[in-house]
Structure 1
Amino acid sequence: MTLAQHSNLDKLVSLAILRFFTGHRNWKDFHQHVQTYHRKDFPRLPAYQNFIYAMNSLSVVALLLLHGFMTFFKSITRNEDPKFADSSKLAACNIKREFSNKVAQYIAKKSKSTMGWFYGFKLHIICNELMQILNFRITSGNVDDRKGLAMIWNDIFGMIIADAGYLGKNWHKKALDLGKQLLTGVKANMKKIMTKTQHQLL
């Protein structure tokens, strides 16, 4: 089946955007909502199974659109502008159900964040001071923050600000060798002083 068999591409994109404004947390409830309140707006709304297939098909369009935005944001972000790096957990299920989860059993991993243990994935992201995404990567949950950052900073230079999770032996020197200045927070058991390099940058 193709997108054309379900509905027009613009209608599908409109539905995907509409879901964020309705506050529905899953596609099933949203599909029922559209059937009940927006049938006149979407008279050719597919049955639920075909609707899910069509929405999943939009992922390619979404990725292309996101890539275009990131390319543009990189082009307008100067090397001297500060960038911000961070990671966030993407739980596949409640940690208590990690052994019974089947959807992502081969790629999701158990890990621990500042909020406790979780089972799933991790989002690594770099943005500029306007919170515009410059690059991102989704990995298994047990991938170290520093390794995730190294996957997405190749074509990003200048100052990168991150939390204490990005501290590591010789990590700041490695960043400098690659044309980046990594400024991180400090852990509770460390002296809260800035390095000579950080003073020079500020």
Structure 2
Amino acid sequence: MEVIGEFLVFSTDKGIWTYFCHHWRDGFPGLGSRANFAKQAANLWVVKQKLQEKLAMLLSAFDRPVHIIDGFPLPVCGFKRAKGCANFKGQADYGYCAAKNETYYGFKGHLMIDEIGVITGLTLTPANVSGREATWDVIGSIKGCLLGDKGYLGVEFKQEMKAEGIEMITPVRANMDDPIPRKTRRVINAKRRLIETVISQLAGQFAIEKCWARDLWHLSNRIARKLLSHTLGIFANFKQGKSQRGWLQQANVIGC
């Protein structure tokens, strides 16, 4: 129900419950109240997380030689309302999103994908935590190359990653010499933009940048459901025999 609801662009527990209550009540006679549905859904957030990891494993996502990492903002309220916001006290913080050129109050999602676009890791931190700090929570057991933006640039950090069997590759600043040939750099930059596509899908189709929760329990469930839905869409395309280039096409996965 939850995954189908996400593909039907119902991004909240209320929206999913209302749709199935009004249109599929005969198919779900034990659906119960909206409050119970939301509670039961939240209780299963770890199950959704494990299902997503299993699908990623079946797609060989953790074994690929190239992964990509980036962050996205997850504000918990409008900036002007931040001082009076009672939700996530002591958990959320102020941060800056360079892509949107704005300061916000909330969390930052740190997402990692493989070179095809399959999600292999995500962690949530206060908005002021740097990408380098959060990287350790998402890399897991991957090896090979990890592509990131300038936020992951750092000599010491690169050495620490190398000790873990990971080559951290980032753009260089204007006053630095680039050890990577220009032609290779263009290929890397094009590959790195794949994560922008995935984040755009998560934000557009699955509304992952909308908080719509008052505690980490329900927020964790929302995020786990959206990651599972995205990965299940890729898995469905894989099972239909589509080429890897077509795996990220999420439209019409369930014929809607």
Which TM-score band applies after superposition, normalised by the shorter structure?
Answer: 0.7 to 0.9
Q: 1:96 is aligned with what amino acid? A: K
Structure 2 unaligned residues grouped into runs of 5+: 185-256
Which runs of no fewer than 5 residues in structure 1 stay unpaired?
1-14
* TM-score normalised to structure 1 length: 0.77
Q: List aligned pairs for 1:22-171, cutoff 5 A.
A: 22-72=8-58, 77-78=63-64, 81-114=65-98, 115=100, 116-153=102-139, 155-171=141-157
Q: Is residue 74–residue 134 contact of structure 1 (8 Å, CA) maintained in 2?
A: no
Which structure has more relative contact order (CA 8 Å, sep 6+)? It is 2
Aligned-residue RMSD, C-alpha: 2.4
Deviation beyond 4 Å, 4+ runs, structure 1? 70-76
- Cα deviation 1:26-75 (Å, max 9, x = unaligned): 32233222222222222222112112111112212112213334555567
Cα offset, 1:154, TM superposition: 5.1
- What SS is found at the alignment partner of 2:76? strand
In structure 2, distance between residues paired with 1:43 and 1:178: 51
Higher Cα radius of gyration:
1
Identity %: 22
Provide the rounded CA distance (Å) in 2 between the counterparts of 1:38 and 1:154.
Answer: 40
TM-score normalised by length of structure 2: 0.62
Structure 1 residue 129: Cα displacement = 0.6
Evaluate the alpha carbon distance shift between residue 44 and residue 179 of structure 1 in structure 2; reply closer, same or farther with a 3 A threshold. closer
1:174 aligns with 2:165: no
Distance in 2 of aligned mates of 1:44 and 1:176: 53
Q: Does 1:194 align with 2:178?
A: yes
Aligned partner of 1:93: which letter? C
| Change in 2 beyond 3 A, CA 1:191/1:99 | same
